[in-house]
């Protein structure tokens, strides 16, 4: 690509690795929505606006997600969202199907991104 490099994650199922538990067994639908929004690079206030909940509620859900997935930083949350196929980075844009699409796939037990 004209000498530029970029990161692109291929779509995966909700299993990022052989030893990882599927997200539908770990996270509630609201926690999954927060995971997808924060994983796409939004801050807590933007996530609160998109979900129509308070920033404090987003923070609480994010803490639950981080504890359940054994993550320590927001960067690790973003990496986990990419490695599990919920977020893809392409030149000039971030591709994210949205939290409601992710939850719909969570309910049907299908891959998050097609």
Query: pLDDT tens across 37-78, in order?
Result: 898 888 999 999 999 999 999 999 999 999 999 999 999 998
In the predicted model, is pLDDT for residue 7 greater than 50?
Answer: no
Spatial separation of the C-alpha atoms in residues 65 and 104, rounded to whole Å:
18
Give the mean pLDDT of the chain: 75
pLDDT the model gives residue 16: 47
Evaluate if pTM is beyond 0.75.
no
Range 27-105: architecture per CATH: Orthogonal Bundle (1.10)
Spatial separation of the C-alpha atoms in residues 58 and 42, rounded to whole Å:
11
């Amino acid at each position: 690509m004209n000498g530029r490099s970029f990161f692109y994650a291929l779509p995966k199922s909700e299993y990022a690795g052989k030893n990882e538990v599927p997200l539908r067994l770990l996270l509630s639908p609201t926690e999954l929505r927060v995971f997808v929004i924060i994983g796409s690079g939004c801050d807590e206030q933007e996530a609160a606006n998109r979900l129509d909940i308070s920033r404090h509620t987003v923070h609480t859900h994010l803490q639950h997600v981080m504890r359940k997935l054994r993550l320590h930083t927001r960067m690790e949350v973003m990496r986990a969202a990419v490695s599990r196929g919920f977020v893809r980075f392409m030149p000039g844009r971030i591709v994210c199907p949205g939290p409601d699409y992710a939850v719909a796939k969570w309910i049907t037990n299908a891959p998050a991104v097609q």
